[in-house]
Amino acid sequence: MAPTRQSSPRPDAETLPPGGAPLGPGSLTWELFADRRMVLLGPRAAVLQNMLPALGQGVQDHSVWFADTLARLQRSIGPIFGTVYGAEAVVTGRRVRDFHTGIKGHLDDDLGGGRYHALDPATFYWAHATFVEHMVVAAETFIRPLTPAERDQVVAEHLTWWSRYGVSSTGVAAGVVDEIPRTWADFHRFFDDALERRLVRHRTAAYGVGYATKGWPRPARVPRLLWALVAPPLDAVSAFVTIGGMPPRGRELLGLPWSAAQERRYRRFARLVRGLDPLVRRLPARHRLHPVAARAVAREAHR
């Protein structure tokens, strides 16, 4: 009789936090976060992150945001996806946390002065929360409405995702949120409060959406005549996606123009994209998801 084959433990085995839900195959976060339609909401999460004074100041002082914005975004995407979909997601989450150890300094005087640190739990949690909020808003705008139970499920999964960073939640009470939200109602209330009372027009956020009103600069390698043909539609689409994807309060703080007619066009565009969802769902994962997520789906199917 052949010996029984013992399955090896998962490399990312973890203990769920109180109230947390499994984050893996079958979870809503796995289904939605890396869906390519997330990009249709524009840079909402990144811009809202930088509107928190401490986070915007850290980006200003310690990154290449102004010199090479796209490079800064590209370097951030991989590790964040790895924290959700990676074979060693907990290890990746700790690595993301440790990368921020030296990101600290003093806030500008016009932001109230004082010290900031990227690993302050309230600051780090705001960055995390913007990804969760972006995912839910993008899903309901461009994929399908979520039920109340599904929204609560996302929040339960976000507790597990947050725990992978290994950032203490004990200091959150002194910052942006009294405690980590455990229901969608609490999360939504926290996010609205941050929009209304805690976010500012930080220089990094304003710079990040500058192309929406000023247009893209011509790349050095693109001939002027070709750019004259390409730039107008590119600028129009970029402005439509970027400004349309921001919450009204964010547009107000950043001074981004948006009319009732534009809002109606945006809603028609969203309905059109949602109507294509049955077709999109038939696509293979490698076409529907970011490559990191598509590899994770294939990995789990093989396992």
Read off the pLDDT of residues 271-297 as tens digits, 9 standing for 90 and up.
999 999 999 999 999 999 999 999 999
Residue 263: both structure tokens together: 């809002």
CA atoms within 13 A on the CB side of 142: 21
- Supply the pTM of this predicted model: 0.89
The answer to whether 202 and 123 are in contact (CB under 8 A) is no
pLDDT at 215: 92
Which of 50, 55, 72 shows the shortest CA–CA distance to 201? 50
Residue 24: both structure tokens together: 């893996």
pLDDT at 174: 42
pLDDT at 72: 54
- CA-CA distances (angstroms) from residue 207 to 107, 199, 204, 214, 232? 18, 15, 5, 11, 20
Q: What does the radius of gyration of the chain's CA atoms come to, in whole angstroms?
A: 20
Residue 54: both structure tokens together: 């401490």
In DSSP notation, 147-174 reads: PHHHHHHHHHHHHHHHHTTT--STTGGG
Domain map of the chain by residue range?
28-300
Q: How many whole angstroms separate alpha carbon 246 and alpha carbon 156? A: 25
Sequence-distant (6+) residues with CB within 8 A of 208 are 43, 46, 47, 50, 65, 69
- The pLDDT tens digits of the residues spanning 45-67 come to 999 999 999 999 998 888 755 55
- The pLDDT tens digits of the residues spanning 9-57 come to 344 457 888 899 999 999 999 999 999 999 999 999 999 999 999 999 9
- pLDDT top residue among 6 and 62: 62
- The pLDDT tens digits of the residues spanning 151-172 come to 999 999 999 999 999 997 654 5
The answer to whether 62 and 69 are in contact (CB under 8 A) is no
Q: Where are the beta strands (DSSP E) in the chain?
A: 104-106, 115-117
